[in-house]
Chain A
Amino acid sequence: MPTALAFESVTKRYRNGVVALNGASWSIPVGARTCLLGPNGAGKSTAIRLLEGALRPSSGSVVLLETTPGTPEYADARRRTGIVPQSPGMYTDLTTSDYLDLVRRLYGRGDAGRVIDAFGLGPYQQTMLAELSGGFRRRLLLAAALLSEPEVLLLDEPTVGLDPVAAHDVHEFLTTAMQGRSTLLCTHNLAEAEALCDDVVILRGGRVLLHEPLAELRQRVAPRLRLRARQPVESLVAALARRGLVAEIENDAAVVSVDARRAAPDLLRDLLGEGIDVFESVPLEASLEQLFLDVVRA
């Protein structure tokens, strides 16, 4: 399968000695929607800047649409790629319209009017970029990235610093924009990654800890069951412990690693038979947060 982008044993050491990526290798096939997860300083933004061609790897190679930065073909690959940078500064002397026109001319194609309409930027066409609110700045960045109908979309923390309403708006736009496009979404917002992506790459300390489809990742985590009873939660935990189950207390509920479909009916019968009045039994799907913490802590 052709790759949209790839990192081949990439190490990036900054001038101050910080190693942002350390022999990292991963690739994203054409059409995949992949999130790049990792704690702060994991190397996510460095990965984007390497793909931009703004930074050069200290060793290894970065591939974007089958080309490497610095080659004559790379310029064409960049024109087929839309990038949303993380919270850049905004011009005080360029309007929304000026900026989108600049973007259109640099990409050599695109319809500024279409993205202005799609992202609701119409009333702000003559507004200086620095005067736009946080939410509209992010809309503008998305509009610029999508103006040329790119094949690849690189998103660096597209909702960081936004209020919930603005973040929701951006998610709505992204859901549409990412359809059919190879996308790399750098984020540490796990809910965002879960809602928008199919695959996940987890970085820590510049190394790739994991690269898997989310669905497969979920299967690796033990299924869990949340139980609530009329008695104090400590009684419920003790009853579970007598059956060899270690429970965690979350609020006033006990959470145990149990396959709900196979083991829950017997477990519930036992508990009720013992006089523990269980009134709630909820199978929990492994959240990306849980998966992330499991992987990073391991």
Chain B
Amino acid sequence: MIDRSVRILLGKELAQLGRSRAALVSATLIPLLLLVIVPVPQLVAFSKAPINIPELPGGGPAGLQSLRGADFFVQLLYPLLVTICGLIVPSLAASYTIVSERERRTLELLIALPVRLTDILLAKLLSILTLGTLVTVPLFAITATLVVILDLAPAGTMLLLLIPLVAAVICSTCLSLLLTLLARDFRTANNVNGILFFPVLIATVGVLGAVGGSARFFVLGVTLLTLGAIALVIGARWITFERYLD
């Protein structure tokens, strides 16, 4: 299914990511913070002393109705953290694999070999997706397991939370294609990431607030995948070797 050249280049990208201490530390530390270190104490606190959200006038948006005790954490707070984390990890990896290649002009080494620019970029996107998934899913599993053990939510609900997590990783990976077009160096990449993430975060908060029950995870997943698809189409339409090296 995946072209042989892409598989070979993917191996190279993963090897390079594995050797980059800075990439690994930043791609692991932030998810550790967002998926485990920050939520676990809150989770324990919620399990010991559940809080009740006061009723909003008129009942409020569907997503904020009937949130009692640990529901606030499971249905609202943690999905938000999961989505932010799913967005951040691929963007960090993209800065190392895509922007650094551009900054150091090493792309010229690759393009002299019998590969196409699309092969090179596809391999990079797949490596970002792989790293994003490998880092976030196990960390998510730690907290999700704790939630189930503490009997704060059923295992099925926590499994549904994988939908926005994986969708966020995919969305961010697709957004990194736009990053490829817009950022020439790390500093610009960080700024561009902020600009690209803003509408995604607004959409995430909007969905979590507006949609009630477990449906919010599906709607959030579809929203993120749609945004990712839009980024992918724009990126694929505009990216050329000429633009990449500009």
Contacts and interface: CB of A to CB of B under 8 A. Distances in A.
A binds B: yes
Please classify the interface of chain A as helix (H, G, I), strand (E, B), loop, or mixed, using the class held by over half of its residues: mixed
Nearest to B12: A102
Contacts, number: 73
Chain A interface size band reads 20 to 34
B100 to A, nearest CB: 9
A54 interface: yes
B41 interface: no
Interface string B122-153: 00000000000000000000000000000000
B105 A88 contact: yes
B234 to A, nearest CB: 17
Contacts of B115: 106
A94 B48 CA distance: 51
A106 B106 CA distance: 17
B16 interface: yes
A55 B242 contact: yes
Contact of A15 (B5, B9, B106, B242): B242
A94 B108 contact: no
Contacts of B155: none
A52 B106 CA distance: 15
Given A79-B114, A106-B8, A106-B114, A93 B19 contact: yes
B172 to A, nearest CB: 23
B237 interface: no
Contacts of A254: none
Given A75-B114, A107-B114, A98 B15 contact: yes
Contacts of B68: none
Contacts of A83: 112-113
A78 interface: yes
A130 B104 CA distance: 10
A107 B5 CA distance: 9
A106 B113 contact: yes
A107 B8 CA distance: 11
A88 B245 CA distance: 12
A54 B117 contact: yes
Contacts of A52: 111-112
Contact of B8 (A49, A56, A105): A105
B109 interface: yes
A103 interface: yes
B68 to A, nearest CB: 51
A83 B9 CA distance: 18
Q: Interface centre among B9, B112, B116, by most A CB within 10 Å?
A: B112
A145 interface: yes
Q: Interface centre among A14, A52, A84, A93, by most B CB within 10 Å?
A: A93
Contacts of A56: 240
A206 to B, nearest CB: 16
Nearest to B3: A75
A230 to B, nearest CB: 57
B26 interface: no
B15 A15 contact: no
A94 B75 CA distance: 44
Nearest to A77: B114
A47 to B, nearest CB: 14
Interface string A130-147: 000000000001001100
Given A15-B243, A94-B12, A103 B106 contact: no
B42 interface: no
Given A78-B114, A144-B112, 18 more contacts: A54-B117, A55-B242, A75-B114, A79-B114, A85-B111, A88-B109, A90-B104, A90-B106, A90-B109, A91-B16, A91-B106, A93-B16, A94-B12, A94-B16, A98-B12, A102-B12, A106-B8, A106-B9
